[in-house]
Chain A
Amino acid sequence: MLALPPDYSLVAMEVVRELIRRKAKGLRLLGVPILGLSADLLIGAGCVAEVETSAVSLGEAGLAPRFTEAAEKGEIKVKDATCPAIHSALQATEKGVPYMPLRGLEGSDLLTNRSDWKSQADLVLIPALQPDIALFHARWADDAGNVWVGRRRELATVAHASRRSLVTFEERKPGDMLEDELLAPGVISSVYLSGLAPAPRGAWPLGVAGLYGIDDTHVSQYAKAAKTREGFRAYLDEWVLTPRKSFSPA
């Protein structure tokens, strides 16, 4: 199981593109807690067997077209969840306990569909979930093997809960960020990280706060193109399969 963050939270898009180039197959995605462009690309390219998520959407650009078609045609299995349940399942793993109780959810058909979620009085017990791999992007990595994700500290929970965490980063920072009192709160310690790789502009067309924003024009162009299989193939040919020097927009 491959855990991915939402489009607004440091997605390692360059790795997503590389997975497509390498023709990955049978991936099980976990949306923490929702998914967007990354999942739609992987699904459209035929890399995905199953998605567990609270939603897949391109936000303001609308529906995620490849997810929608694959789900409607039964080409992928979708395990519907709700955001706080996914957070709770990861927090259970983080703490090494078998489940976490969650309030709410009464009356939802999600409860009926998820036989793994157990109602107990007015609580629901959400079993711990341990992704095989967490994949995300970071602003910096340092010489000590730590990464800095700033205010996107929910990524720490995913890293804590996953067997392995693979992180791409924008720039290398000399030294050890944990020695810097101001940087340390935004750091995920190397103890949780299994692999780091440089990827400047590696989140594009999604963003890295303070460095570059989401390329809204590109995402809405994708949303239009990917409405048909042919349009999606053409998008892959132009933006994923053709080697490029840089993903910086002209």
Chain B
Amino acid sequence: MGPYAKEELLACVIARQLGGARHAAIGASSPIPATAAFLHQHKDAAFRVSLQQRREANPLTEGSRELFDLAGQGRVDVFFLGGAQIDGDASINLVQAEGRRFPGSFGSAFMYPIVPRVFLFREEHSARVLVKKVDFVSARGHPAALVTGKALFSWQRDRRRFRLESVHPGSSAEEVRANTGFDYDVSPSLGVTPEPTQEETELLRTKVAKQIEKDYPDFARRVWG
């Protein structure tokens, strides 16, 4: 690991995937995707970021109902989803597994098939999270990519199968394989995820940190002090 926080690296990995996007909506409890979206906005000023639970100056004046209406019309083209479990078919489970109860599906069942570029994101990369088959399908769709704490996977739409594209610094292809419960392909040009550039870390620690701290105070304190 270099002189950057893990969260900063992951935000950079996601931000680099957002080229050409118009409008990202950020749902509940997603500080790293929110950080990524604001970072990308500094490269593309026309890129709009809507935090659904923004506490002040929230752009949604009809709450989450308006968010889903925006998405239904195609006015949102980027959304992020996580999962207590994510499987090799790109299905996500936010409800229950092995007797354990999770918060619930939120808007995922609607957003996943509707929004053109859905990114799956889960920091924990383990065989417990990345399973062969989820116990409950909250939502299913075609993701734009899967980003974890160890790696970046692309999605092969025709084959319904993930492909490992890059492994984050500090991890290895073997470690990723050993901690992934589903089978996947490997890119012939598999590489190491590029570290945050100096420009990226500077932006993150100044302008982006300011944008994030209002709505994710605990996260901002943990990452940026």
Contacts and interface: CB of A to CB of B under 8 A. Distances in A.
B81 to A, nearest CB: 12
A108 B107 contact: no
Interface string B45-61: 00000000101101011
A102 interface: yes
B58 A84 contact: no
B110 to A, nearest CB: 4
A83 to B, nearest CB: 4
Contact of A154 (B64, B102, B106, B137): B64
Given A83-B110, A85-B110, A154 B65 contact: yes
A109 interface: yes
B209 to A, nearest CB: 16
A110 B217 CA distance: 33
B106 A55 contact: yes
Chain B interface size, as a band, is: 35 or more
B110 A63 contact: no
Chain A interface size, as a band, is: 35 or more
Interface string B90-109: 01001110011111111111
Interface stretch (B6-14, B138-146, B174-182): B138-146
A103 B106 CA distance: 16
A75 to B, nearest CB: 11
Interface in A74-98: 78, 80-85, 87, 91
B218 A60 contact: yes
Interface string B65-88: 110100010000000000000000
Contact of B105 (A63, A108, A151, A207): A108
B58 A151 contact: yes
Contacts of A81: 104-105
A213 B104 CA distance: 25
B29 interface: yes
Contact of A105 (B91, B104, B110, B216): B110
Contacts, number: 141
B199 interface: no
A80 B65 contact: no
Contact of A34 (B28, B72, B138): B28
A68 B114 CA distance: 29
Contacts of B60: 151
Contacts of A105: 109-110, 113
B66 to A, nearest CB: 7
Contacts of A151: 58, 60-61
A216 interface: yes
Contacts of B139: 82, 107-108
A8 B27 CA distance: 12
A107 B61 CA distance: 31
Interface of A: 6, 8-9, 33-34, 53-57, 59-60, 63-64, 67-68, 71-72, 78, 80-85, 87, 91, 102-111, 151-155, 157, 207, 209-210, 213-214, 216, 220
Interface of B: 28-29, 31, 53, 55-56, 58, 60-66, 68, 72, 91, 94-96, 99-114, 136-141, 216-219
Closest 7 CB pairs of A and B: A154-B63, A107-B140, A55-B104, A83-B107, A84-B68, A104-B110, A57-B103
26 contacts: A8-B55, A34-B103, A34-B106, A53-B104, A54-B104, A54-B105, A57-B28, A57-B104, A60-B218, A80-B105, A82-B105, A82-B107, A82-B109, A83-B110, A87-B64, A87-B65, A87-B68, A102-B110, A103-B72, A104-B112, A107-B91, A107-B137, A154-B62, A155-B63, A157-B62, A210-B56
